Amino acid sequence: MMREGILRLAMQRSGRLAEGSQALLMQCGVQAAAAKHQLMVQDTRFGMEFIFARDDDIPGLVEKGVCDLGIIGSNLMEEYCSAPNSDCAALNIVMRLGFAQCRLSMAGPKAQDYRNATDLSGKVIATSYPHTVRQFLAKNNVHADIVTMHGSVELAPQMGIADVICDLVSSGATLKENGLQEWLTVSESEAILISNPTRMDATKEKQLARLLLRIQGVMKADKKKYVMMHLERSKLALLAEILPGSESPTVMELQEGSDRVAVHVVSHETIFWETIEKLKAIGAGSILVLPIEKMIL
């Protein structure tokens, strides 16, 4: 079914992807904010529609063409595509979005000593990602049992349901609190934008290109900073080492006509206090570090 009309994106209603998705779209100048119980909203000015759903439903909505785009974690895409009957070929990863980073990892009680995938042999693994785990075991030629749980997976070893768990980890605090130790990363994950290209007409493709240009602009600008300072001309060569990406700074004479010049540069990395200290050490002064909102190259 080719759905006519406005480009429609499915995003998580609430949870770990919701805030990042909202923030990204807002930075793109697209209004996707909804009232508390609203499940659909339109930005008529930009020309896009947003559906708020549980993340688990988003790959299916995009695959069936109910929505043209979706924002999910790449872990969910992996799970969806590992399931026996999914038509994953219809889904396309349009862009990695860089937020909601985490990893799907094996973890076990601290006292036990797990190291490699082969240590899973004959064990019981509790997880919310059974298809991904099944594929991982097959790839490593290991036979183990899988118990599917939809939450509180960390409790499984304590409750005697499983020997190990395979769950998402970001800071590691939850594992620690439950006496578990991470010992093997199955896959890394971040938020991704997915589409179903077979369901999109030329008008929607054009609209998607507009959105992508904005997302790229926001993401490029994200870590970058605009740095301004005064510096002795003879020290300019040292800048590139301290500020990566500052190969071609804009250099301007100062009105008082000294050896010092005004330097403007886009730094490709976050400016930490250590970086400022290094700039001070080569004699830089009047240092200003400004955020960059958009960057279109």
Phi, psi angle pair for 240, to nearest 5°:
-60, -35
75 binds ligand PRT (CB under 6 A): yes
Q: Cβ 104 to ligand PRT, closest distance in Å?
A: 9
- Strand, coil or helix: what is 282? coil
Judged by CB, which is closer to ligand PRT: 137, or 168? 168
User: Strand 225-232's sheet: what is its strand order?
Assistant: 250-253, 260-267, 225-232, 285-291
Compute the distance between CA of residue 4 and CA of residue 14 in angstroms, rounded to an integer: 28
Residue 172: which of Zn ion, ligand PRT, none does it interact with, CB under 5 to 8 A by kind? ligand PRT
Q: Cβ 95 to ligand PRT, closest distance in Å?
A: 15
Give the residue at shortest CB distance from ligand PRT.
Answer: 73
Q: Cβ 100 to ligand PRT, closest distance in Å?
A: 4
12 binds ligand PRT (CB under 6 A): yes
Contact residues toward Zn ion (CB under 5 A) are 55-56
Residues 86-125 that bind ligand PRT (CB under 6 A): 100, 102
82 binds ligand PRT (CB under 6 A): no
- 10 Å Cβ neighbour count for 176? 13
Phi, psi angle pair for 58, to nearest 5°:
-65, -45
Q: Which residues lie below 8 Å from residue 138, measured CB to CB, with a gap of 6+? A: none
55 binds ligand PRT (CB under 6 A): yes
What is the torsional sign of CA 72, 76, 80, 81? positive
- Of residues 168, 180, 231, 271, which one binds ligand PRT by CB under 6 A? 168
